Amino acid sequence: MFFVATPEPATAKVTLDPAFTVGPVRRRTFGAFVEHLGRCVYTGIFEPDHPDADEDGFRRDVLGLTRELGVSTVRYPGGNFVSGYRWEDGVGPKDQRPVRLDLAWHSTDPNLVGVDEFAAWSAKAGVEPMMAVNLGTRGIQEAMDLLEYCNIDGGTELSDQRRANGAPDGYGIRMWCLGNEMDGPWQIGHKNALEYGRLAADTARGMRMIDPDLELVACGSSGPTMDTFGEWERVVLSETYELVDLISAHQYFEDFGDLQEHLAAGHKMDAFIKNIVSHIDHVKSVKKSTKQVNISFDEWNVWHMSRAESKAPSGKDWPVAPVLLEDTYTVADAVVVGDLLVTLLKNTDRVHSASLAQLVNVIAPIMTEPGGRAWKQTTFHPFALTSRHAAGTVLQLAVESPLVSGGTTENVAALSAVATFDAEKGEAVVFAVNRSATDALTLDAAVAGLGNVRVLEALTYANKDPYWQASADDSTSVEPAENVTVKADGGRLTAELPAVSWSMIRLAVGS
């Protein structure tokens, strides 16, 4: 009888040293997105008849899960929805608010949730609101009116209207998106780059006359595959560079049946970010500017948009809160989401804000039943743990990794990793993804530069079936579990990383 030896896992080598840094861990990296789309708002965050609803109609279970997820900012109210939105419809007595057609998602919006409700929900959830203005069907005056309503404490018509609606103090919203995906032909009022750039510049000037300290986000192209990408950024920033702080990036990833290709999502996001940076810095150079514009990656996620879940209603069917974009995520999708967070952290010098799209029900880490349960999708876990434990400074790692290839993407590093170092807390955290669809990987990290280290916690999220999905009936049988292979000894950290896995290793650091 002959026995075939199982090959040893390939090894990826990493060096961590606190002397080499990328930039600070930014809390705004862990933002999310609430759009009036499908069941994100109605039966998502807001369901007055739910047995666990609070006095304002918000689901307490969803509030609790939002806090556990560790969300920092929430972008609102869209998304495609914002390009046809009249914000005045969503304020004042609810029985007097108009019911409107939502052309973006072929639905009906009863306007029971608007800016005041969103501000109240944000306060309860402990998140920073991030507001978008309609530059599709509306423009400069409406944006300035909304800003006045939200942020001026009192003494003007619109601020006093807010006070009469039950909010005596201004909301102090700092981050404002100047429209959404305005190069997309699906967008109501979409524009060419010069039209949008000039409108965004004029809107920014008007808003800064009210509050010069706002943080404004210009619309970047809707995605890297758009014909407009690159030239759009150049033209828009040529008009707005000195008036805005950030330019948006949107990118989604889908599993088309090649798991190895799907696991390369973080590699593709990294390339996209570097491409955007080159366009930003080109305009900066041409303008001879001393200002640095950075990136708000305010839509990102796995979204299986070619599936039936993303088919909007049509014809005479204009439902309120239809089941729409309710993707059910796999373990592999969660590993991809964890890798995308690794990528955002690795680019923290230029990505200053990010928003997972979206928060509840719609391509979301949190799911609900109308009148019933709420539960965590697989993607909840890497997001919550990264948000909870990434702190201090992002370290610049030296990585030597085997390569993997799949589909049209070749020679991608099997190991995707980032580390954060919190000197005050005396803790370093390594986030590591094995992108191989088939093979385990040995992590061999040189950590002597940190001083003496010991392992505080080591968790890995993986499953023999990478296509396992959570449900309302079973959301807990596959969760991050202790990785007993992790060892720290003699200035080296070692770990075995299963195929298709995301891991978090927390280290106590001492002299």
Kindly list the catalytic residues.
Answer: 181, 299
Cα end-to-end distance, the chain, whole Å = 54
Concatenate the DSSP letters of all residues of 183-218 into one string.
T-TTSTT---HHHHHHHHHHHHHHHHHH-TT-EEEE
Taking the C-alpha atoms of residue 329 and residue 279, their distance in angstroms, rounded to an integer, is 34
For residue 411, count CB atoms less than 10 angstroms from its CB and return exposed for 0-12, middle for 13-18, buried for 19 or more: exposed
Q: List the one residue out of 79, 209, 84 whose CA is nearest residue 151.
A: 209
Taking the C-alpha atoms of residue 39 and residue 51, their distance in angstroms, rounded to an integer, is 17
- Angstrom distances, CA of residue 206 to CA of 94, 212, 259, 286: 30, 10, 48, 25
Exposure string of 315-344, with b = 16+ CB inside 10 Å and e = fewer, is eeebeebbebbbbebbbbbbbbbbbbbbbb
Taking the C-alpha atoms of residue 32 and residue 358, their distance in angstroms, rounded to an integer, is 6
Taking the C-alpha atoms of residue 196 and residue 370, their distance in angstroms, rounded to an integer, is 39
Say which amino acid occupies 54: D
Taking the C-alpha atoms of residue 448 and residue 287, their distance in angstroms, rounded to an integer, is 44
| Token digits of residue 439 | 């093979």
Dihedral angle of Cα 52, 54, 59, 64, to the nearest 10 degrees: -90
Using H for helix, E for strand and C for coil, what is the string for 355-418?
EEECCECCCCCEEECCCCCEEECCCHHHHHHHHHHCCCEEECCEEECCEEEECCEEEEECEEEE
Provide φ and ψ at 230, rounded to 5°. Answer: 100, -65
Question: Helix axis angle, 380-389 relative to 60-69, nearest 10°?
Answer: 60
Q: List the one residue out of 364, 383, 385 whose CA is nearest residue 375.
A: 364
Taking the C-alpha atoms of residue 416 and residue 338, their distance in angstroms, rounded to an integer, is 10
**Chain CA centroid to CA 142, Å:** 27
The pairs formed by 283-292 with CB atoms below 8 angstroms and a separation of 24 or more are: 283/233, 283/234, 283/237, 283/238, 283/241, 284/241, 286/238, 287/238, 287/241, 287/242, 289/241, 289/242, 291/241, 291/242
Contact 82, 130 (CB under 8 A): no
Contact 456, 506 (CB under 8 A): yes
Contact 459, 503 (CB under 8 A): yes
